Structure formats: C-alpha cells, structure tokens
Amino acid sequence: MIELYVLLIFMIIGAIVAIEMKDLLSSVIAVGAVGLGLSIVLLILKAPDVAITQLVVEILCLIILIRATLKKDLPFSTTGRWLLNSLITTGFIVVFLFVAIKAFKDLPEFGYPIMRVANTYLKEGLVKTGASNLVASVILDFRAYDTLGEATVLFTAVIGVLAIIRRIGRKKKDEVVEEDDE
C-alpha cells in the first residue's frame, strides 16, 4: 500500500509542476509524468487492461500536444481578474470538499466493494461468454451497449474534426497551403 501513496504524491507534485511551469514543453512533459504514474498505479491495483489503455492513450495525447499545439502561437493571456478567479476557485473547492466528505462516508472501504453485479459476472463470465479475459467478456458481451455508445462518441469526434479541417481547406481553394514537415 505504501507504494500507492508514494505514486499518488508523485502525481500530485507532477500536476502542480505542470501548472506552475512557464515553459510549455516542460509543462507537457510533467503532464506525461502524471499519466505514466497513473498507469503504474493501475498496474498496482491489478487492472492491467486499464493500465495498457491509459499508457497508450497518454503517449498519443502527449505526441498530439507536443507536435500539434506547441509550435502554434496560441493566444495566452495571463492578465485578468485573478483575485475574483481565485476566490471563485477556492469557493468551489471548499464546496466540493464538503460534499465529498458527506458523500464518501457511505462508500464501502477502499478495495472492498459491494460486489452484487460483479459477483455474477465473475462466476458466470467464463461459462457464458467463453472469454478468459473477464474484462473483454464484460465490455463486449454483458455491457456491449456501453461499448457501442463509446464507439459512437469516437466516430462523432472524428467526423467533427474532419469536418472542421475540410471547411478551412475549401475556404482557401486557389491558395497553396504550405504544411511544415519536420
């Protein structure tokens, strides 16, 4: 259990570093450190499926962040109503902590969930679906509707991104747009 707390503290430090760093590249790398820490935490909690997905998606997000956004001159404003913003943020944090303390009292102890539905899946998953990876049997057989919804969300996201790009491409039809390759 101690290594879990070490990793959690490492992730919190990484997140604070990512916010406070002035250099964008260092900030993105700190975010990556947080994600890799999260994937090791998931491995310690014995969830290798989620750990693999987290690791891989983290790498893809980092590459997209570094390659696609870092070199653009994005507008970045530091001035503004920082006093009001800090006050609102603090207020929200206090409210959320208060509600969380009230709500988390009723949750089962960490690592000992109430397994009413999961018990059935664990007992009958192998017999009913024939898949020895119980996670696959849950996401693609018992709860396949969820996976269908997730696939629809991804499909919509891809179509949205492609539509945005096509609009710009049409706008500058006669102009040859140079694309940088490095």
Partner 1 sequence: MSKEHDKGMSLIVKVITRLTVGLILLYGIYIVLHGHVSPGGGFAGGVIIALSFVHLFLAYGKDVALKKLPKTAMSFFESMGAILFLSIALLGFTGGYFFLNFISKGEPFRLFSAGIIPLCNIAISLKVGAGLFAIFVVLVLLKFEWEKKE
Which amino acid is present at 3?
Answer: E
3-state helix, strand, coil in the chain (%, to 5): 75, 0, 25
Comparison of 3 and 49: residue with beta carbon closer to partner 1: 49
Output the smallest distance, CB 6 to partner 1, in A. 24
Between CA 120 and CA 46 the distance in angstroms is 20
CB contact at 8 A, 62 and 31:
yes
Output the smallest distance, CB 146 to partner 1, in A. 11
What residues make contact with partner 1 under the rule CB under 8 A? 48-49, 51-53, 56-57, 59-60, 63-64, 67-69, 72-73, 126, 128-133, 135-137, 139-141, 144-145, 147-148, 151-152, 154-155, 157-158, 161-162, 164-165, 168, 172, 177, 179, 181-182
Output the smallest distance, CB 124 to partner 1, in A. 12
Comparison of 69 and 86: residue with beta carbon closer to partner 1: 69
DSSP reduced 3-state for 125:
helix
CB contact at 8 A, 8 and 40:
no
Output the smallest distance, CB 18 to partner 1, in A. 20
Comparison of 27 and 129: residue with beta carbon closer to partner 1: 129
Between CA 172 and CA 169 the distance in angstroms is 6
Length of the chain: 182
